[in-house]
Structure 1
Amino acid sequence: MAEDDAKAQGNAAFSSGDYTSAVLHYNYAISLSPTNHLLFSNRSAAHASLGHYADALSDAKKTVELKPDWEKSYSRLGAAHVGLHQFEEAVAAYTKGLEIDPSNEALRSGLADAQASLGVLLKKQEMKQRAKAEKKLGTAAYKKRDLETAIHHYSKAMEMDDEDISYITNRAATYLQMEKYKECIEDCDKVVVRSMEIGSDDKMLVARALTRKGTAFVKMAKCSKDYEPAIEAYQRALMVHHNGETLSKLKEAERVKKELERMEYIDPKIGDVERKKGNEFFEKKKYPEAIKQYTEAIKRNPKDPKAYSNRAACYNKLGAIANGLEDAEKCMGIDPKFSGGYIRKAEVELYLKEFENAMKTYVEGLQHDPNNQELLDGVKSCVEKVNKAKRGGLTPEELKERQAKGMEDPEIQSILTDPVIRQVMSDLEENPSAAQKQMKNPVIKSKIQKLISAGIVQMK
C-alpha cells in the first residue's frame, strides 16, 4: 500500500537523521490515511527533532485524540510541551501516560525531567519576584538619596535575576549620582553586553545606558581629548535609539571639546612668531599669505590686538571691507588704548566715503593716544574732505557716490520724510531768507547739517 510505503520511507529518513524528509513522507502518508495515530505520532517526533515544537504539539494532541488509551501519545505530548518550556503541562501529560502504563520507563524519565525543569522554572520565577522586590527597595532608597543602600539592593536584584538589565542601568545611574564614574561606565558596558547575550530588544534601555556612559566620561573630562569617548558613547546611543536629550548632550560635548581645543592651542610665544611671519608677507604685498599667518597668530593668541590690526590692514588692502571692519572693531575691543584698531576702522570708513565717521574714529583714538601722529594726520585729512564736500568741491562722481551712500543711512531716510525739512530744502532753493529763519531752530539746523554732510543738500 502507498500509505505503508510512505510511512516506511518516513521512518527510514527519521532513522538517518533527515527529519525534514521524514516530515514530507509522513505528510503524504497522512493524506492517504488521516486517522492513523501512528503517523501523527511519528510526525510529532520528527517536528520535535527539528525544534518545531508548536507543530510537534499539534500532532501530539491529534495523536491523543485518535488514540487516547495509547501511552506513547502522552510521551509525544509531554516532549512537545517540554520543548515549549511548558513544564506544568508536560508533567500532566507524562502523569496521564503513566496512569495507562505505570511501568513505562520513557514516561517515568520524561516525568522526572519535566518535574526537575518545572522546579527550576518555579525557582527562577520566585527569584524574579524577589529581584523585583529588591529593585523596589533600591528605587525607594535612591529617591531618599540613600545611595549606598540603593546600590546594595540593585546588586542583590542583579544576583537574583541576570536577565533583567534594568537592574544594571539603575545601579549605573546610582553610581553616576555618587560620582563613581568608572563604576558607572562598567555597568553601562555590562548593559550593552548582557543585552546582546540575552537577545533583548529594549533599545531604549541600551541607549539610556550609553547616554549615561557618555555623561560619566564628560564628568571625568579634564582636557579636549577626554571628550572623545563621551562623544562616541552619545553617538552610539543615538544609533540605537534617537533621543532629543542625548542629541543635546552630544552637541554640548562637541562644543566644549572644540572650545577646549581652541584654548589648548593658545601659545602667545608662537603667536608672536606667526605674526612676524605675517609682517614679512605684508611687506612683500603678499596679503593672502599674510592673512593666513595673522589668522594662525590669532589662534595662538586671541588677545593680541596687533594681529587683528595687521589682518584688518590686509583685508582693507584686498577690498574685503566687512572683514577689515570686523577685525578693527575686535582690536579696539581687546585693547582700547591701541591706536591700530582706530586707524584700521577709519580706513574702512574713508573707503566708504564716510568722512565724518572716520573723523570721529580718529578723534576717539586720540582720546587714548593723544600724540599719535597717524591719528592726528587722519583727523586733519578728514576735516579737509568734509569741508571740501560742504563747499561743493567734490567731483560729480564723488558727489554721486556720497549721495548714494547717504541714502543708505536710515537716519537720512527718516529726515527726508519730515515735511518741515522738505520745506526748508525747498526754501534753500527758492526762498533763502525763509530758510535762514528756519535754520535758527537747532533741531532743524542739525538735520540740515546731516543732509549737507551726506551730500544730499548742496550749499552755494
Structure 2
Amino acid sequence: EKRARGEPMAEAKPAPTPAPKPEPVPEPEPEPVAVDPSKEKADALKAEGNAHYKKKEFEAALAKYAAAYEAFDEDITYLNNTAAVYFEMGDFSKCRETCDKAVERGRELRADYKLVAKALTRKGTSFKAENKLEEALECYHKALTEHRSADTLKKFNETEKAIKKRDEEAYLDDDKAEEARQAGNDAFKRQDYPEAVKFYSDSLKRNPNDHRVYSNRAASYTKLTAFNEALKDAEKCIELAPEFSKGYTRKATVQFFMKQYDKAMETYQALLSKEPENAEAQDGVRRCVDAINRGNRGEMTEEEMKERQAKAMAEPEIQGILTDPVMRQVLQDFQDNPKAAAEHQRNPGVMAKIQKLVAAGVVQMR
C-alpha cells in the first residue's frame, strides 16, 4: 500500500550485532616419544654393519649385527641382516639357522609379518642355491602365507617351473620313447584308440621332438573325434618336420571332418606345392571342391549347412570380412544392385574375400 502523505516513516532497525567467534582451542602439544637408548644403540651398530656389508667386509658386518641384536633383541631385522651376510658368504647352513631363529623370535614378539616372511624367503633362496628345490618351494609357500609379496611369489613360480623342467628332463629316454611308440602303434592296429593315445603321450614325454608320434597321436584323436586335439598334434608335426607329408594330410583330414573345407583345401594345396604328384593331396583337393560345390548347389541338408556356417563364423578371418563395412555393402550389392556387383567382380581383392566366404559356406553364389 502507498504511504499516506504526511505520515511519518518507520525508523529502520539496526542490524543485530554478530556473536563473537569463540577463541580457538589450542592444540595439545604432542607427547615426546620416548626413545629406547638400547634401540638407538642397536640401530647405530646396524648402520655400521650395513656399511661393512656393502664393502663385502662380511666378518666385520657379522660382528656389528650380532652386537646390535645383543643390545636390542626385540627387532629381528638384525637377525635377517645376519642371515643375508651368511648367504653372501655361501654358508647356507648358518644362513638357514639364523632365518629359523628370526622366525621363532619374530613370532614370540608378534613382529611384522613382512619381517617373518623375509626370513622364510631368504631360507628358501638358500635351499635353491643348493638346488634343493622342493625345500625352497616349501619355504616360499610359508613366506607367502605370512605376507604375499611380488618378489616371493616370483621366486615361488620360478622354482615350480624349475622342478617341472628338471622332472621332465629326468624322464627323457629315447629308447623308452621308441618302446612306447611301438606299443601305441600296436594299440592303434587293435583299434584301441584311447590306449594308443596313452602310449603316444608317454612316448612324447620321453622324446618331445619325434614328429612321427605327433602324427600318430593326431590319427588316434581323429578316430576318437577329438578334432581340436588332433589338429594341434598335426600342426606340431608340421612345425617339427615341414617336409613330412603325413603332417599335412592328418591336418587336412581333421579340417575336412570339421567341415572347414576351405581350410582343408589350403592344407592340401600347401602339400602339393612341395609334392605336386602326391595322390592323397590331389584326391583331398577334389573332395574339398566337391563338398564346397555341394553346399553352393544346395545339396547339403539344412543341418549340415548350419553346422558348416557356424564353424566358419567362429573363424577370425571370416568375422573380419563380415564386419568390414565395405564388404557388407559389397554383399548387399550382389543381392540388390547388379551394376555395382559387376564393378565389384572386377576387383581382385574383393573377389578373393567373396571366394573365401563361398568356400567357407557362409554365402552361396548361384
TM-score, normalised via structure 1 length: 0.61
Kindly indicate whether the alpha-carbon contact (under 8 Å) linking 2:172 and 2:207 is maintained by their aligned counterparts in 1.
yes
Identity %: 43
User: What amino acid sits opposite 1:274 in the alignment?
Assistant: A
The match for 1:424 is 334
2:250 corresponds to 1:250: no
In structure 2, the residue matched to 1:134 is: 45
Task: Please tell me whether the aligned partners of residues 181 and 213 of structure 2 are also in contact (alpha carbons under 8 angstroms).
Answer: yes
Matched residue, 2:319: 410
Q: 1:202 matched to which residue of 2? A: 111
Tell me the alpha carbon deviations over residues 228-260 of structure 1, each in whole angstroms, 9 at most, x when there is no partner. Answer: 111222233344x22324344323322321232
Residue deviations 1:294-346 (CA, integer Å, cap 9, x gap): 11112112212222222211221111111111222222222222223222211
CA distance in 2, matches of 1:146, 1:373: 76
Across the two proteins, how many residue pairs are aligned to each other? 324
Structure 1 residues 449 and 141, CA, compared in 2 at 3 Å: closer, same or farther?
Answer: same
The one-letter amino acid of 1:243's match is R
Report the TM-score when normalising by structure 2.
Answer: 0.74
Q: Residue 394 of structure 1 aligns with which residue?
A: 299
Unaligned 5+ runs, structure 1: 1-124
Query: Cα distance 1:285–1:134, how it changes in 2: closer, same or farther (>3 A)?
Result: same
- The separation in 2 between residues aligned to 1:403 and 1:130, in whole angstroms, is 79
Query: Does residue 1:450 correspond to 2:356, yes or no?
Result: yes
Q: 1:332 aligns with which of 201, 217, 238?
A: 238
**1:372/1:174 CA distance change after superposition, 3 Å:** farther
Per-residue Cα deviation, 1:61-82 (whole angstroms, up to 9, x for no partner): xxxxxxxxxxxxxxxxxxxxxx
1-structure distance, mates of 2:242, 2:38? 73
More helix by proportion, 1 or 2? Answer: 1
Q: Note if contact 1:188-1:210 (Cα within 8 Å) is conserved in structure 2.
A: yes
Residues 1:254 and 1:174: Cα distance change in structure 2 (over 3 Å): same
Q: Residue 219 of structure 1 is aligned with which of 109, 129, 146? A: 129
Does 1 or 2 have the higher relative contact order (CA < 8 Å, sep 6+)? Answer: 2
Amino acid in the other structure paired with 2:128: V
Residues 453 and 247 of structure 1: CA distance in aligned 2, closer, same or farther (over 3 Å): closer
Matches within 5 A, 1:88-237: 133-157=44-68, 165-192=76-103, 199-202=108-111, 204=113, 205-221=115-131, 226-237=132-143
Q: Counterparts of 2:157 and 2:349 in 1: how far apart (Å)?
A: 53
Corresponding residue number in structure 1 for 2:21: none
Structure possessing the higher radius of gyration over alpha carbons: 1
Change (3 A) 1:456 1:170: closer
Report Cα offsets for 1:33-81 as digits up to 9, x if no partner: xxxxxxxxxxxxxxxxxxxxxxxxxxxxxxxxxxxxxxxxxxxxxxxxx
RMSD, matched Cα: 3.3
* CA distances 1:209-244 after superposition (whole Å, capped 9, x unpaired): 2211001111221xxxx21111222233344x2232
Query: Residues 371, 168 of structure 1: CA spacing in aligned structure 2 closer, same or farther, 3 A cutoff?
Result: farther
Counterpart in 2 of 1:322? 228
Structure 1 residues 399 and 233 mapped into 2: Cα distance closer, same or farther (>3 Å)? closer
Are 2:288 and 1:382 aligned?
yes
**In 1, Cα distance between equivalents of 2:340 and 2:125:** 76
Give the Cα separation in 1 of the matches to 2:292 and 2:137.
58
Identify if the C-alpha distance between structure 1 residues 137 and 344 changes in structure 2 by more than 3 Å, giving closer, same or farther: same
Any gaps of 5 or more consecutive residues in structure 2?
A: 1-35
Does structure 2 retain, via aligned residues, the 8 Å contact 1:412–1:450? no
**Distance apart, 1:364 and its partner CA:** 1.8
Q: CA deviation at 1:170?
A: 1.1
Q: Write the mapping of 1:251-290 to structure 2, written as runs, cut at 5 A.
A: 251-290=157-196
Contact 2:330-2:341 within 8 A present in 1 as well: no
